[in-house]
Structure 1
């Protein structure tokens, strides 16, 4: 009878699977109770703060709110920011898309306990951070490994060479009807196939024409940007991060808004996994949450907030200067 009373289900999951968790509701010392309450309160406060911040950033990107009651940024204003040049936006949108595609697997699969959820989330964020360093927005990376290998990603493959990709989505849309026996080249990558079909076909049959191939590669450079830069380097493997090859450049603003929604769902999922302090007691939840939240703040929030702060500060200076001209002009004229 006592064992049945103690084995109270937590969030629909029986506590019999974890003997340590079985004793928490009954035999938790007062000191651990207060510590668990502090951790639970900390998770609740930080998660709600992050949810509000992400929602605010999403609205700011959509031009729906004034940035801290100072300036209203629309897409044209954002496009004029020095941080938002086209190439950086394309790279950043692709990175955000990969993170947004990978998060649902962590949220919905294998996250029956807070510990499992936070472990998977930390692994995913570590992989995403490593991917960003190897595939940087500026076309260069900080690590020596990426500096040595990243330039090879932008070279056209030699005739007969094979390109390693995470997934060949473009091969599904473009049948190999004459590309496999295409003249002297024999084997060609997906970007050349896309370029050949864009220029009226014949990309596979004209393998011996170097000038035509160069023109095709130049025409398809914008289309194949995302696909060419998401090729993984030798030995670059991920457990939770999905990096499919995409045949288009995702829109940055739509991708960022969707990523904010997914991150909000991530924090909300965590809140549902820790409804009471006993789920936060003595099992490493506090440490894992601090690490995951720090990575999310570093990867997503800090950079975006800094860009908006710099732009709003410059915009306010410009507005004040314009007002000063009007006021001083009136005083001088009188």
Structure 2
């Protein structure tokens, strides 16, 4: 006679025991595990989206398998007015310069990293609202120096966001003014010197993390946007490295990540996606109308 298993219970049928139902229940994931999975899955999605947007601007992919936008096509978009592009390129450049410096200096753990991320994007949004005409081209808060910064994860793709984004790199200087206006000691790090501007930011307008140097020229929008995408990809990659296990996750990290990711979607991704969607719809309609004329022309 076979021995019955000791785990579970037997369901009684009309003819006696007929079904064995196990009592062991699958483990319920903890809040930390759920937060960890959410951060990694969302970060991976943002990295893919940013990479896709960069390739779309470079004319390397068909927008959702419909149309291929090359540079002349992009320039015909209503939102790609030269004056608007210059303003957007300036804003993107300032954000791209600020992200590596601020996050690398405050990237000891996920909490400080996300706290700085949110603070920087809050300042960036306030700057855009204060200077809607891109007036930072002629005025700057930093007539001093900007230290060259490199995101840790960017070594394989772009060695330096500051150099790749289009600003000239200066030589080492033994006595240079720091970002708060004081004189700093000599440093072996390579620095960037910006032209001095007599006009500063508006009275009372100060930023802790956002760099706002005077720019001697309008940056190229396409190169600037591609580099900004690289910098943001590196930011999400670095965040996943800091959140390496559920132990680093807690409700504070979850809340700050949600806010930081929402700001990236609002200030960078949503506007670009909307532009491509509108242009792709009108482009597809034109293509279908053209095909219809060819087909009907041959039948009539």
TM-score (norm 1): 0.63
| Cα separation, 1, equivalents of 2:271 and 2:139 | 31
* Alignment of 1:322 onto 2:297: no
Tell me the equivalent position of 1:239.
208
Deviation per residue, 1:170-195 (Å, 9 max, x gap): xxxxxxxxxxxxxxxxxxxxxxxxxx
Match of 1:76 among 72, 76, 84: 72
Q: With the length of structure 2 as denominator, give the TM-score of the two structures.
A: 0.70
Between the aligned partners of 1:234 and 1:257, the Cα distance in structure 2 is 33
Q: Which 4+ stretches in 1 moved above 2 angstroms?
A: none
Q: CA deviation at 1:231?
A: 5.2
One of 201, 220, 230 as aligned partner of 1:251: 220
Distance 1:320 1:299 in 2: 33
SS of aligned partner of 1:47: helix
How many pairs align?
A: 224
Once residues 285 and 213 of structure 2 are traced to their aligned partners in structure 1, the CA distance between those partners, rounded to angstroms, is 43
1:26 counterpart residue number: none
Deviations 1:49-103 (A, max 9, x none): 0000000000000011110110101111100100000000000000000000000
- Within the alignment, does 1:275 sit opposite 2:275 as a pair? no
User: What whole-Å deviation, never above 9, does each CA across 1:230-252 have from its counterpart, x for those lacking one?
Assistant: 95211111000000001011000
Instruction: Give 1:164 deviation, angstroms.
Output: 6.6
Q: Which of 53, 57, 62 lines up with 1:57 in the alignment?
A: 53
Contact between 1:107 and 1:269, CA under 8 Å: does it hold in 2? no
1:133 maps to which of 125, 129, 133: 129
CA contact (8 A) 1:231 1:245 kept: no
Report the aligned-residue RMSD. 2.5
Q: Distance in 2 between matches of 1:110 and 1:168?
A: 24
Higher strand share: 2
Shift of 1:166: 1.0
- Give runs of aligned pairs for residues 1-334 of structure 1, distance below 5 A: 34-136=30-132, 139=133, 165-168=140-143, 232-282=201-251, 284-332=252-300
Which segments of 5 or more consecutive residues in structure 2 lack a partner in the other structure?
Answer: 1-26, 145-195
More helix by share: 1
Is the CA contact 2:51–2:229 (under 8 Å) kept in the aligned structure 1?
yes
